[in-house]
Amino acid sequence: MANFLLVHGAWHGAWCWQRVLTPLIQAGHHTHAVTLTGVGERAHLLRPGIDLETHIQDVLSAMDAEELNDVVLVVHSYAGMLGTAVADRRPERLRHLVYLDAVLPAPGESWSSTQAPETRAARIAASEADPLYSFPAPNPAVFGLSGEDHAWVARRQTRHPGGPYTQALQFNAERVASVPRTFINCTQPPLATIEVSRQRMVDPQFWGGHWLPGSRVVELNTGHDPMVSDPQGLTSLLLDCSR
């Protein structure tokens, strides 16, 4: 049995994992989905003071409250920042770190560091214009969603706190790389804002040469929200990561 800890990306919440939770549990694994402060069912806690450390502590606290060791930590999109931090601070608690179409930061970078200047400027401006310092969700069509899936995500997305967007993360890349890692690359369509991560996942020089040893890349022929658009395919990959 593995302990799965699922961490959503920006604008989402634990709700986005509904279609993979049951199959993972039915396969005999303990499975817990985190909702980060200020989004999802915790949107009422949105405030200007939320920062990257707030969200890192959300994940660490979930590990402690659920008393999880031997964890398969699955981090989606923005939460690649959080998974990297957790692996830096508690590598001994992790069995596997799964970057699900996620941000792959270099030490000293923020989530926004690798995004296009116009994207960065627009999100910072939106945050500064909002009394709660947050920025709005995009149209789920950019995640490759349509029809009922598009509507399901659109009505659940919430604004995302602006603080974590620009706060830099310091970490020891060699220590993070001590945890076995899988990058799940969602290719149809590829999300433009993580294109730099796609380049890094095959770069032998990334993290000073520490990324590629102990890591692998697998592709999933769906969009950026595979827990919605291809839960069966995603579940199969996650079960493989637990072995």
Tell me: the pLDDT tens digits for 85-129?
Answer: 999 999 999 999 999 999 999 999 999 999 999 999 999 999 999
Measured in degrees and rounded to the nearest 5, phi and psi for residue 218 equal -125, 150
CB environment 36-55: b (16+ within 10 A), e (fewer): bbbbbebbeebeeebbbebb
Domain limits of the chain?
A: 3-241
pTM over cut 0.85? yes
What CATH architecture is 3-241?
3-Layer(aba) Sandwich (3.40)
The pLDDT tens digits of the residues spanning 147-198 come to 999 999 999 999 999 999 999 999 999 999 999 999 999 999 999 999 999 9
Provide the pLDDT for residue 86. 98
Q: Are 123 and 162 in contact (CB under 8 A)?
A: yes
Three-state secondary-structure class, residue 142: helix
From the candidates 77, 110, 127, 197, give the one annotated as an active-site residue. 77
Specify the pLDDT at position 125: 98
Single-letter code of the amino acid located at 128: E
* 127 given a catalytic annotation: no
pLDDT in tens, 32-58: 999 999 999 999 999 999 999 999 999
Residue 243 has pLDDT above 90, yes or no: no
Query: Which one-letter amino acid corresponds to residue 125?
Result: A
